[in-house]
Amino acid sequence: MSDEWFPYRRRRIWGFFDEMMREIEEIFEREFEDIEKMLGEMPERYVRERTLPDGSRVREYGPFVYGYSVTIGPDGKPIVREFGNVKPQPYGRPRVSIREEREPLVDVMTTDDEVKVIAEIPGVEKNDIKLEGTEDTLIISVDTPERKYYKEVKLPTPVDPEKARSNYKNGVLEVILPRKGKSKGYKIKIE
Protein backbone atom coordinates (compact mmCIF):
# COMPACT_ATOMS: atom_id res chain seq x y z
CA MET A 1 0.00 0.00 0.00
CA SER A 2 2.81 2.44 0.78
CA ASP A 3 4.39 1.87 -2.66
CA GLU A 4 1.19 2.95 -4.40
CA TRP A 5 0.55 5.92 -2.13
CA PHE A 6 4.07 7.46 -2.08
CA PRO A 7 4.31 8.55 -5.76
CA TYR A 8 0.83 10.11 -5.56
CA ARG A 9 1.74 12.02 -2.41
CA ARG A 10 5.04 13.19 -3.89
CA ARG A 11 3.33 14.50 -7.04
CA ARG A 12 0.71 16.31 -4.96
CA ILE A 13 3.30 18.03 -2.73
CA TRP A 14 5.50 19.17 -5.65
CA GLY A 15 2.41 20.38 -7.52
CA PHE A 16 1.51 22.49 -4.50
CA PHE A 17 5.02 24.06 -4.43
CA ASP A 18 4.91 24.75 -8.18
CA GLU A 19 1.60 26.54 -7.80
CA MET A 20 2.87 28.51 -4.81
CA MET A 21 6.00 29.60 -6.73
CA ARG A 22 3.86 30.77 -9.68
CA GLU A 23 1.78 32.89 -7.30
CA ILE A 24 4.91 34.37 -5.69
CA GLU A 25 6.31 35.24 -9.14
CA GLU A 26 3.02 36.98 -10.05
CA ILE A 27 3.14 39.00 -6.83
CA PHE A 28 6.73 40.11 -7.57
CA GLU A 29 5.78 41.05 -11.15
CA ARG A 30 2.89 43.21 -9.89
CA GLU A 31 5.17 44.86 -7.28
CA PHE A 32 7.82 45.67 -9.90
CA GLU A 33 5.12 47.09 -12.21
CA ASP A 34 3.91 49.29 -9.33
CA ILE A 35 7.45 50.50 -8.64
CA GLU A 36 8.09 51.27 -12.32
CA LYS A 37 4.78 53.16 -12.54
CA MET A 38 5.58 55.12 -9.37
CA LEU A 39 9.06 56.04 -10.67
CA GLY A 40 7.56 57.12 -14.01
CA GLU A 41 5.05 59.43 -12.28
CA MET A 42 7.60 60.92 -9.88
CA PRO A 43 8.01 64.73 -9.89
CA GLU A 44 11.14 65.80 -11.77
CA ARG A 45 12.78 67.41 -8.77
CA TYR A 46 13.06 63.97 -7.10
CA VAL A 47 15.07 62.45 -9.96
CA ARG A 48 18.77 63.25 -10.39
CA GLU A 49 21.47 61.74 -12.56
CA ARG A 50 25.07 61.63 -11.41
CA THR A 51 28.32 60.49 -13.02
CA LEU A 52 30.42 58.15 -10.91
CA PRO A 53 34.27 58.29 -10.83
CA ASP A 54 34.44 55.32 -13.24
CA GLY A 55 32.37 57.30 -15.81
CA SER A 56 29.15 55.33 -15.43
CA ARG A 57 25.92 57.22 -14.85
CA VAL A 58 23.51 56.46 -12.02
CA ARG A 59 20.00 57.73 -11.39
CA GLU A 60 19.09 58.78 -7.84
CA TYR A 61 15.64 59.36 -6.39
CA GLY A 62 14.49 61.32 -3.38
CA PRO A 63 14.46 62.58 -0.75
CA PHE A 64 11.43 60.66 0.42
CA VAL A 65 10.19 61.29 3.93
CA TYR A 66 7.45 59.50 5.81
CA GLY A 67 6.91 59.27 9.52
CA TYR A 68 4.44 59.71 12.29
CA SER A 69 4.37 60.98 15.83
CA VAL A 70 2.17 59.67 18.60
CA THR A 71 1.12 61.77 21.57
CA ILE A 72 -1.52 61.33 24.22
CA GLY A 73 -4.43 63.74 23.95
CA PRO A 74 -6.19 65.44 26.85
CA ASP A 75 -8.79 62.68 26.87
CA GLY A 76 -6.07 60.04 27.35
CA LYS A 77 -6.40 58.67 23.80
CA PRO A 78 -3.44 58.54 21.42
CA ILE A 79 -3.18 61.13 18.65
CA VAL A 80 -1.29 59.98 15.56
CA ARG A 81 0.06 62.64 13.20
CA GLU A 82 1.73 61.78 9.89
CA PHE A 83 4.41 63.87 8.21
CA GLY A 84 6.55 63.73 5.09
CA ASN A 85 6.03 63.80 1.34
CA VAL A 86 5.14 60.12 0.87
CA LYS A 87 1.68 59.00 1.91
CA PRO A 88 0.39 55.43 1.94
CA GLN A 89 -2.86 55.06 0.04
CA PRO A 90 -5.64 52.85 1.39
CA TYR A 91 -6.77 49.92 -0.76
CA GLY A 92 -5.63 51.16 -4.10
CA ARG A 93 -2.90 51.49 -6.61
CA PRO A 94 -0.44 53.02 -6.56
CA ARG A 95 0.06 52.16 -2.91
CA VAL A 96 1.83 55.43 -2.12
CA SER A 97 1.54 58.96 -3.43
CA ILE A 98 4.53 61.27 -3.64
CA ARG A 99 3.76 64.92 -3.23
CA GLU A 100 5.82 67.87 -4.36
CA GLU A 101 5.75 69.47 -0.93
CA ARG A 102 6.77 67.82 2.29
CA GLU A 103 4.48 67.85 5.30
CA PRO A 104 6.51 68.95 8.34
CA LEU A 105 6.41 67.25 11.71
CA VAL A 106 4.03 69.34 13.84
CA ASP A 107 3.12 69.25 17.51
CA VAL A 108 0.16 71.13 19.00
CA MET A 109 -0.04 71.97 22.69
CA THR A 110 -2.90 73.66 24.49
CA THR A 111 -2.88 75.60 27.74
CA ASP A 112 -5.61 77.59 29.43
CA ASP A 113 -4.62 80.78 27.59
CA GLU A 114 -3.04 79.72 24.29
CA VAL A 115 -2.44 77.12 21.62
CA LYS A 116 1.20 76.51 20.72
CA VAL A 117 2.11 74.96 17.36
CA ILE A 118 5.69 73.76 16.86
CA ALA A 119 6.80 72.67 13.38
CA GLU A 120 10.10 71.33 12.05
CA ILE A 121 10.95 73.21 8.86
CA PRO A 122 14.69 72.78 8.26
CA GLY A 123 16.66 74.37 5.46
CA VAL A 124 14.65 77.54 4.85
CA GLU A 125 14.93 81.20 5.77
CA LYS A 126 12.48 82.94 8.07
CA ASN A 127 11.09 85.14 5.26
CA ASP A 128 10.34 82.03 3.10
CA ILE A 129 7.69 80.85 5.58
CA LYS A 130 4.08 81.89 5.03
CA LEU A 131 1.57 81.58 7.87
CA GLU A 132 -2.18 81.96 7.51
CA GLY A 133 -4.62 81.50 10.34
CA THR A 134 -8.33 81.34 11.08
CA GLU A 135 -10.12 80.63 14.33
CA ASP A 136 -9.71 76.88 13.89
CA THR A 137 -6.88 76.36 11.35
CA LEU A 138 -3.24 77.31 10.87
CA ILE A 139 -1.65 76.89 7.43
CA ILE A 140 2.14 76.66 7.22
CA SER A 141 3.71 76.81 3.75
CA VAL A 142 7.12 77.25 2.16
CA ASP A 143 7.74 77.32 -1.59
CA THR A 144 11.38 77.75 -2.61
CA PRO A 145 13.28 76.07 -5.44
CA GLU A 146 15.10 73.85 -2.92
CA ARG A 147 12.36 73.10 -0.37
CA LYS A 148 8.59 72.92 -0.34
CA TYR A 149 6.56 72.44 2.83
CA TYR A 150 2.82 72.51 3.42
CA LYS A 151 0.73 71.68 6.46
CA GLU A 152 -2.82 72.57 7.40
CA VAL A 153 -3.13 72.25 11.18
CA LYS A 154 -6.59 71.85 12.71
CA LEU A 155 -6.53 73.67 16.04
CA PRO A 156 -8.18 72.03 19.06
CA THR A 157 -9.93 75.21 20.27
CA PRO A 158 -10.90 78.54 18.68
CA VAL A 159 -8.06 81.07 18.65
CA ASP A 160 -7.57 84.76 17.83
CA PRO A 161 -5.24 84.72 14.78
CA GLU A 162 -4.87 88.52 14.79
CA LYS A 163 -2.97 88.34 18.10
CA ALA A 164 -0.74 85.42 17.12
CA ARG A 165 3.04 85.63 17.40
CA SER A 166 5.76 83.38 16.06
CA ASN A 167 9.49 82.81 15.89
CA TYR A 168 11.78 80.65 13.80
CA LYS A 169 15.18 79.42 14.93
CA ASN A 170 17.40 76.48 13.89
CA GLY A 171 14.74 74.95 11.64
CA VAL A 172 11.99 75.02 14.28
CA LEU A 173 8.94 77.26 13.88
CA GLU A 174 6.91 78.14 16.97
CA VAL A 175 3.52 79.81 16.60
CA ILE A 176 1.63 80.95 19.70
CA LEU A 177 -2.06 81.67 19.20
CA PRO A 178 -4.09 83.13 22.09
CA ARG A 179 -7.30 81.28 22.74
CA LYS A 180 -10.48 83.18 22.04
CA GLY A 181 -11.82 84.76 25.19
CA LYS A 182 -14.53 82.81 26.85
CA SER A 183 -17.70 84.76 27.36
CA LYS A 184 -18.18 85.63 30.99
CA GLY A 185 -21.15 84.14 32.74
CA TYR A 186 -23.80 86.43 34.14
CA LYS A 187 -26.07 85.81 37.07
CA ILE A 188 -29.65 85.63 36.05
CA LYS A 189 -32.20 86.77 38.53
CA ILE A 190 -35.18 84.50 38.96
CA GLU A 191 -38.46 86.37 39.36
Tell me what pLDDT residue 178 has.
92
Q: Is the pLDDT reported for residue 126 higher than 80? A: yes
Answer positive or negative: Cα dihedral of 64, 52, 40, 36: negative
Eight-state DSSP code of residue 46: G
Q: Is the pLDDT reported for residue 43 higher than 80? A: no
Give the strand order in the sheet containing 106-110. Answer: 106-110, 114-120, 172-178, 165-169
Tell me what pLDDT residue 190 has.
60
CA 58, CA 56: separation in Å to the nearest integer? 7
Instruction: Report the range out of 59-63, 94-98, 131-135 with the highest average pLDDT.
Output: 131-135
In CATH, the architecture of 64-178 is: Sandwich (2.60)
User: Which residues make Cβ contacts (< 8 Å) with residue 172, sequence separation at least 6?
Assistant: 118, 119, 120, 121
| Model pTM score | 0.59
CA 76, CA 11: separation in Å to the nearest integer? 58
Answer positive or negative: Cα dihedral of 186, 187, 190, 191: negative
